Amino acid sequence: MPMKSSAAKLSALFAMALLPGASVSASDVSDTARTLHERIIVLDSHLDTPMMFDDPAWNILERHQPGDGTSQVDLPRMLEGGLDGGMWAIYTPQRGRTLEHMRAARDHGLKRLLQIHRLVAAHPDRFELARTPDDARRIHAAGRRVVFISMENAAPLALDASLLQFYFDQGLRMLGLVHTSNNDFADSSNTPPEWKGLSPAGRALVAEANRLGIVIDQSHAADAVFDQLLEISKAPIVLSHSSADAVHEHMRNIDDERLRRLAARGGLIQVNAYGAYLKNTQAAGRATFEDYMQHVLHIIKVAGYEHVGFGADWDGGGGVQGMEDVSLLPKITARLLQEGFTEAQIAAMWGGNLLRVVGEAQRVAAGMAAAATPQG
């Protein structure tokens, strides 16, 4: 994306400084805010917590302390913070693209998928796999945690893209094409372009995801990928954990013009709480809850609340001073109430918008299937 002028940067920063509201501490969360937060479906679209499943000593039923090197998400803190679940990520680092690397990525992805299923099987009274928005609502009503499955980096599919059907059958409902390096499907935002957006294999993968009803996740992909996804995807896309370039210019963030186009196509951005994406942490120190809310409020102003949600990158580097783990999520609800948002608007941002996009992808797939069925 084009570099912004110094004057434009200063103007954006000055505008953010004039936003109403003040930082909310945990003790400032009112009974009204907590009651609202507990009543609605609260989902996060990018939980990297499945990486913890490799450690046999780590127990999701036990409460861990933030910053102790374990995790930011566990059942006690989910209950304390009113987090009802979300998208649990099958994250695969991009190691290389040789046959050996592709086999390793394939095996890694399948292992992580199995681990997520084991979580659900081991604790059926606490967690349940969701395949549809109605599943999520039913699971929430029953007091269990919602487990949607997502994939961050499509490297596990590079050896055999037909595995996407198997992943779908096992519950995959969101697919991120790439991570911090270019792969066989798309260019990353972190590296010089190789494909000028999507590769031919990437375009085919998007078409297959549309056919199956899997939401495409643009986070980590290059701007050219964003532009091409809006052109070719038959369903709305999601940015599962991204922030605002106008507030802090970063290769992982998205500019306002693209935010408007995302909203116009019915898409969704889930705001990331990774500190380095929120501010220049090297020059200005650790990012804070207020830094995070500046991104949230700016994106709402540009895209509209109907196209905004939360994907804080928990256990993947997310978390800021004043919101170190999921136990503090009610602070966001309190701040949104302070800013004048209604219960319906807050409910949409916390889970309704994500369920809408998942449902829309499934409706598109059903329509494609019906169109392909011969009429007798």
pLDDT tens by residue, 135-158: 999 999 999 999 999 999 999 999
Q: Which pLDDT band, with edges at 50, 70 and 90, does 25 fall under?
A: low
Taking only the tens place, the pLDDT of each residue in 30-78 is 999 999 999 999 999 999 999 999 999 999 999 998 766 689 999 999 9
374: in domain: no
Q: How many domains does the chain have?
A: 1
What CA–CA distances, in Å, run from 152 to 24, 47, 81? 32, 10, 25
Kindly provide the residue ranges of all beta strands, DSSP E only, lying in 40-144, ordered along the sequence. Answer: 43-47, 85-91, 127-129
Taking only the tens place, the pLDDT of each residue in 242-301 is 999 999 999 999 999 999 999 999 999 999 999 999 999 999 999 999 999 999 999 999
139: in domain: yes
21: in domain: no
Q: Give the percent of the chain with pLDDT over 90.
A: 90
Residues forming beta bridges with residue 321, ordered by sequence position: 288
Query: What is the domain range of residue 253?
Result: 42-368
Residue-level pLDDT at 193 = 97
14: in domain: no
120: in domain: yes
16: in domain: no
User: Helix (H, G, I), strand (E, B), or coil: what is residue 176?
Assistant: strand
Relative to beta strand 268-271, strand 43-47 is unpaired
d(CA 251, CA 189): 6
Residue-level pLDDT at 28 = 79
Give the predicted TM-score (pTM) of the model. 0.92
132: in domain: yes
